[in-house]
Chains A and B, each alone.
Chain A
Amino acid sequence: MANTLSIIQAINQALMNEMKNDDTVVVYGEDVGIEGGVFRASVDLQKTFGKERAFDTPLAESAIVGTAVGMAINGLKPVVEMQFSGFSYPAFNQIISHVARMRNRSRGQYNLPMVIRAPYGGGIRALEHHSESTEALYAQIPGLKVVIPSTPYDAKGLLIAAIRDPDPVLFWEPKRIYRAFKQEIPEEAYEIPLGKAKVIQEGDDITIVAWGAMVPDVQKAVKIVEEKGISAEVIDLRTIAPMDRESFIESVKKTGRILVVHEAPKTLGVGAEIISIVNEKAFLYLEAPPTRLTGFDTTFPLPRGEKHYIPSPERIAKTILDVVSY
């Protein structure tokens, strides 16, 4: 049967599948229960599985994450929602001090099979604090996994893998493309392994690495430069931490050039790490300086300014041309 879903619907279906497959999976957060989430990621979960397993909480992010630590220690698999990634900071202490550390601190006695989901990124004309790309903040913390899907198929398979993973996963969802397009995907549960990037287009002249909502923009840019005879290899990183280094190292050995495109600020962003790895592992293959095109090192602007912040397909296309013609 055709099961053609958007990213947000695929996320909902992943939650449905896993709650059905595994009684220990519980879903909670702010407005997650009766309303089904402000973006409807958890719609109908409470109706289907009851208030014990899908519920609303008081409005307190630290306790949402902190209680999930306790639940995971006590045999459940909590999947909690931060309503927006920009509201995850009250939970920062729990995430960094406990979620990331409990396994190591207890020398493997208490692992935390839990998922923290959050919509991230700009481009939805939102109020302040609703548009940030915070993956680098968390990706540096030992003990955490950070995953970002860019398609409905990946969103479902990666989220199921994250829920089944014995370790804590931050699942950051690109809300700008929550409903941008649909894909036909399997109705039943399936996993996409964490820590594996995906080559979504092969090419010879340049490697472009992106994730989340920047992936479709990179694909648009690649169409633009194809008309000028440039063949780009596009890699969707999918897992930010731990990162699939081989994917882009091998690609750069073929193309000799790399461009990393991300929405988060440039300085000390994930792009810096990717380029460092390329310098360490593929230095002699390089034909142009490894390059980043990113958000600015500024606060994310309010809606009247956000079009300037997120790298546009045109700007990506121009940067590709610059790198290729270096």
Chain B
Amino acid sequence: MRLEDYNPMKNEMYQVLDPTGKVVLEKDIPELDDEQLKYLYKTMLFTRTIDEKALSYQRQGRMLTYAPNLGQEAAQVGSAYSLEKEDWLAPAFRELGAWLVRGVPLKNIYLYWYGNEWGSHMPEGVKVLPVSIPIASQMQHATGIGMANNIKNEKNVVLTYVGDGGTSHGDFHEALNFASVFKSPVVFVVQNNQYAISTSRKIQTMSDNIALKATAYAMPGILVDGNDIFAMYNATKAAVDRARNGDGPTLIEAYTYRLGAHTTSDDPTKYRDDAEVEEWKKKDPILRFGEYLKGKKLIDDQWIDETKKELEKEVKDTFESIEDKSDTVIEDIFKYHYEEMPAQLKDQLDEYKSFLEGGK
């Protein structure tokens, strides 16, 4: 696909599969083999399963605050799948599908939400930054990583995410501007899930869409059906290729919907109608892709059931491997602030340890 064929100023949205899984743009079916297609579906299903189980654990009082991804699986999995091994990912906090695609182990993900910093320590070779909670701040890190690539003459690219609420933030605009000025090889994906906690996307901006904001920064912007995994993969791949080719950044708006709550502390019935949610459930990205794959005879209901059971077991085993075994080691609270622990900190650690040991 060509990014320039979709003009965000005309509010055109890029779509390959319609909500029923029917192909609306035959020429844009990506060249992925059967195994790749099944991997993508399975990863979306894995994302959903991890969410469902986390919400259930949270309700049982076994998990802490959790931010579910329900409904946004295609936006995350499809975009992240366009990266190559050496590329970077600078996430916000609702990018579970992207983390999985980029090789972040579920154990890390659950450890993070379980309240232990070791969840953010990635395995060797996984170039994924830790969760960034301050809204839009991670976009600047992505831009800086890309600027460093240019200086070092390295060809890898950076994928970063932000929500629709984040586009109101100064850091969003500063990051786009710096990336454009310095031709930083970054792909900015806005997961427009229509709500920033309770605040509707309509209150964030008077623009018809978010993708058109790219125009002012002299970069391509494209509005994409975020629940269509092929559209997300193709658009991001085009942007990634463009960045790798030295042509600079791209802004992608993934038009999607948060089917669940902002976090487990949020009650979305306070600010949106059931009818609206029901409408979006019909556009569920997993249903859509599933229908397409069934039509291709790649999967069937039995395969889905078996895969789901297998994934549920993996999630359960992983959660149980960390549950009640992940309290923070006291020294860890102190020893990672500086390469060398300052004397003041050492005194505080010693005093506390001595208290715990019942010393004088």
Contacts and interface: CB of A to CB of B under 8 A. Distances in A.
Q: Are A and B bound to each other?
A: yes
Interface of A: 26, 52-53, 57-58, 60, 62-63, 65-76, 78, 90, 93-94, 97-98, 102-111, 142-143, 145, 166-167, 195, 242-243, 245
Contacts of A107: 117-118, 120-121, 332, 336
A69 B174 contact: no
Contacts of B132: 98
A106 B344 CA distance: 22
B143 A67 contact: yes
Count chain B CB atoms within 10 A of each CB in A58, A70, A106, A143 and give the residue with the most.
A70
A184 to B, nearest CB: 32
B151 interface: yes
Contact of A66 (B88, B133, B158, B175): B175
Contact of A74 (B122, B144, B174): B144
Nearest to B117: A107
5 contacts: A63-B174, A65-B140, A66-B140, A66-B141, A103-B337
Interface string B119-160: 011100000011011100101111111111111100000100
Nearest to A105: B130
Q: Which of B118, B140, B343, B344 is the most central at the interface, judged by chain A CB atoms within 10 Å of its CB? A: B140
Contact of A90 (B170, B181, B339): B170
A43 to B, nearest CB: 21
Contact of A71 (B118, B122, B147, B343): B147
Given A57-B178, A94-B137, A66 B144 contact: yes
Contacts of A52: 150-151
Nearest to A53: B151
A167 B148 contact: no
Given A62-B174, A63-B178, 5 more contacts: A65-B140, A66-B171, A70-B90, A76-B151, A242-B342
Contacts of B152: 74-76
Contact of A105 (B120, B170, B343): B120
Given A62-B174, A143-B337, A98 B342 contact: no
Q: Which 3 residue pairs of A and B lie closest in terms of their CB atoms, listed nearest first?
A: A70-B144, A66-B140, A67-B144
Interface residues of B, number: 44
Contacts of A93: 134, 137, 171
A109 B88 CA distance: 15
B145 A63 contact: no
B338 interface: yes
Contacts of B117: 104-107
Interface of B: 88, 90, 117-118, 120-122, 129-130, 132-134, 137, 139-152, 158, 170-171, 174-175, 177-178, 181, 332, 336-339, 342-345
A245 B148 contact: no
A70 B170 contact: no
B123 to A, nearest CB: 10
B146 A70 contact: yes
A107 B145 CA distance: 20
B223 to A, nearest CB: 25
B344 A97 contact: no
B339 A74 contact: no
Given A106-B120, A108-B121, A76 B148 contact: yes
A71 B140 contact: no
Contacts of A105: 117, 120, 130
A105 B332 CA distance: 11
Contact of A94 (B90, B130, B140): B140
Give the one of B120, B132, B338 with max A CB within 10 A: B338
Given A107-B117, A167-B339, A68 B144 contact: yes
Contacts of A62: 140, 170-171, 174
Contacts of A78: 144
Given A62-B170, A109-B122, A73 B339 contact: no
Given A103-B336, A166-B339, A195-B342, A71 B130 contact: no
Contacts of B150: 52
Contacts of A66: 137, 139-141, 143-144, 171, 174-175
Given A67-B144, A71-B147, A167-B338, A60 B177 contact: yes
Contact of A70 (B142, B181, B336, B339): B142
A241 to B, nearest CB: 8
A67 B158 CA distance: 13
A293 to B, nearest CB: 24
Contacts of B342: 195, 242
